[in-house]
Amino acid sequence: MVVPAPRRRLAALRRQLCPGCGAAAAAASAAERDEAALRADILRRKPFFDTFGYLQLSGLLSDRIADVEAEFEALWESAVSMDLQDNAAAVPRRGQVMYAGELSTSSKCITAFIDRSPRLACLLDDPRVRALGAALLGDDWSFTGSDGNLYRGTTGWHR
């Protein structure tokens, strides 16, 4: 796969900003060997994705999930302490915690979520994520943004 020069520079910058990704890089290099097999598996299942809009990829990033959970919790802890008193604005700022419903604080969202953490942002350079994006969206796919959501409730979707 040929990666355009600006994208290579961005990937190099992410690696510099992600000092805790050394162990992840070792796991990722092993995953690079399996990238073709993963891409073939995803392509085989792409009709399901095209029909229903999702794929279940159990265990795809199981070696990274502890880091993802730790960063998720750290981002929420810092965002809530910074923005909790400030959430009355109708239009959220980048990175602001928003509350769904005027009377409810059961649903919260942080915009630009992974941009706030180098350890989460470096997931975009993981060969498994690259293979997934390329197989589903084409080699020229691009990440455009994220948000982090925290739900409390007893709905069928969020427990």
Residue 150, pLDDT score: 79
Residue 143, pLDDT score: 92
Q: Consecutive sets of 10 residues in the chain, 159 residues long: mean pLDDT of each?
A: 51 54 56 78 94 92 93 85 48 47 60 90 91 92 89 63
Residue 104, pLDDT score: 45
Contacts made by residues 152-155, CB under 8 angstroms, sequence distance 24+ = 152/106, 152/107, 153/106, 153/107
Query: Which whole-number Å values give the CA distances from 3 to 11, 22, 100, 134, in the listed order?
Result: 10, 22, 40, 12
**Token reading at 137:** 């969206």
Token pair 């265990």: residue: 59
Express the helix, strand and coil content of the chain in percent, nearest 5 each: 55, 10, 35
Residue 7, pLDDT score: 55
Residue 16, pLDDT score: 55
Residue 97, pLDDT score: 52
Judge contact between 71 and 119, C-beta under 8 A: yes
Domains of the chain, residue spans: 5-151
Please tell me the pTM assigned to this model: 0.63
